[in-house]
Every structure is written in C-alpha cells, then in structure tokens.
C-alpha cells in the first residue's frame, strides 16, 4: 500500500512538472502572425484618435479621407489638426457566408509588417483582410473656426505650391534667356513666363493681405 501511494505521489509530481514546462514553453514561444495582429489592433483600440468623453468633448469632428496635406497641429484650441490612422479588419467566413468588419480610428501607426504576415498566413475558409490608411482629423469648436481653419489650410497649401512653381519657372526662364544666343522668340517666351510667375506671386500676396484684413490672427495660428 505504501509503495502504491509513493508511486502515485511520484507520478503526480512528474505530471505537474511536465505541465509547467509545457506552459512555460507556450508562453516563451514566438507569437504567430495572427497574435501579432491582435496585439497591434488592441494597441489601436487602447490609443483612440478622438476621445469624446475627455479632452475632445464639445468639438465638431471632421474626417478627411484624402486631404491636401496631413498636418499635426493642436496649438489653437478652437481648431485642431490630427494625423490619425484608420485600422480596418475584415473576416470572411465562407461557410456562414458572412462578413464582419471592425474599424478603429487610432493614433497608433499602421503595422505594415504584421499585416503582410497575416495576409500570407490566412486560410481560404476564414479569410482575414486588413487595411490601414493615414487620414486627417479636424476638431473645431464652431462653424466660424472651422471655416477660418479650412481657408488657412487651403491658403498655406496653395502658397507653398505656387511659390515653388513660380520660383522654378523664373530660374529656368532666366537660364533660357542666357542660353538663347540672341534668339528673339526664345527670349520673348521666357520673359512671358517670368511675368506670369511674378503675377502669380502678386496675386498670392494680395490674397494673403485680404485674409489678414479680415482676420488679423490668420497667420498666427
């Protein structure tokens, strides 16, 4: 009887030891692509782009899927610009003929490597599709601040584009005049482009002056 009890105790100890070893091995084992994606999505959920119940309460939320330029600026409390990421995870179950979609707007950047690994490891019976894109989110306190903010965004983008193009055209036209070798047609064409570029810069300056007259704080935001 004593030998039987001793064997039973020894068997129990060995079984518990093996179970603990297997459990420790499963913990230290590298995560699968699906587990990595689940971790990435959990981070996205834990770091939302807009917190309506906290600091962002009372704001008008505008989401721009294809903005002119994605900016990050929260210096003005009445008009905030945020760079956010739209995470979309889609499950396709062929047997149930159903599609489930989970979308989360987060500050967490797109995990491209995890997404590619997950796409490669997906099976046909339970297809997993993941997409992530960068979008612009605008928070404004009212309609007036939203209009002012939009105008400022468009003007700043237009000013940068027009300025670069105008300077480039003037430089190349000057080079063309220098290399014309007395060709009157080439000189006339280059001068015309220079005058058009200067006219564009003048219009840009006048539009900025008008905006400053309407709102003196336009260029300070």
Residues 127 and 37 in one domain: yes
Reported as type and span, the H/E element at residue 151 is helix 143-178
Residues 62 and 88 in one domain: yes
Q: What is the CA radius of gyration of the chain?
A: 31
pLDDT digits (tens, 9 = 90+) for 168-219: 888 888 888 888 777 788 888 888 888 988 888 888 888 888 877 877 766 6
Strand partners, 105: 86
Q: Inform me whether the pLDDT recorded for 12 exceeds 80.
A: no
Residues 25 and 95 in one domain: no
Residues 177 and 191 in one domain: yes
CB 148 within 8 A of CB 79: yes
Residues 162 and 69 in one domain: no
Q: Inform me whether the pLDDT recorded for 21 exceeds 50.
A: no
Residues 54 and 115 in one domain: yes
Range in 7-16, 91-100, 184-193 with the lowest mean pLDDT:
7-16
Domain total for the chain? 3
pLDDT digits (tens, 9 = 90+) for 115-168: 555 555 555 666 777 778 888 888 888 888 888 888 888 888 888 888 888 888
Q: Inform me whether the pLDDT recorded for 15 exceeds 50.
A: no
Strand partners, 87: 104, 132
CA distances from 94 to 38, 90, 126, 131, 185 (A): 21, 13, 7, 20, 69
Q: Is residue 78 classed as helix, strand or coil in its secondary structure?
A: coil
Residues 7 and 64 in one domain: no
pTM: 0.60
The domain in which residue 120 lies consists of 33-141
Residues 41 and 135 in one domain: yes
């Amino acid at each position: 009887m004593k030998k039987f009890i001793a064997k039973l105790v020894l068997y129990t100890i060995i079984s518990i030891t093996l179970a603990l070893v297997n459990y420790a091995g499963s913990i230290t084992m590298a995560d699968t692509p699906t587990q990595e994606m689940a971790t990435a999505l959990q981070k996205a959920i834990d770091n939302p782009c807009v917190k309506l119940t906290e600091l962002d309460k009372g704001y008008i939320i505008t989401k721009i899927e294809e903005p002119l330029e994605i900016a990050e600026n929260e210096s003005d409390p009445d008009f905030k610009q945020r760079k956010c990421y739209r995470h979309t995870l889609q499950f396709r179950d062929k047997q149930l003929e159903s599609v489930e979609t989970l979308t989360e707007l987060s500050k967490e950047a797109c995990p491209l490597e995890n997404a590619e690994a997950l796409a490669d490891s997906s099976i046909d019976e339970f297809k997993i599709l993941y997409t992530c894109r960068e979008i612009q989110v605008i928070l404004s306190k009212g309609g007036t601040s939203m209009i002012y903010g939009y105008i400022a965004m468009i003007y700043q983008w237009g000013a940068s584009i027009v300025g670069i193009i105008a300077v480039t055209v003037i430089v190349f036209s000057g080079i063309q005049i220098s290399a014309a070798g007395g060709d009157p047609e080439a000189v006339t064409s280059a001068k015309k482009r220079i005058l058009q570029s200067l006219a564009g810069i003048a219009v840009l300056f006048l539009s900025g002056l008008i905006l400053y007259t309407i709102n003196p704080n336009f260029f300070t935001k």
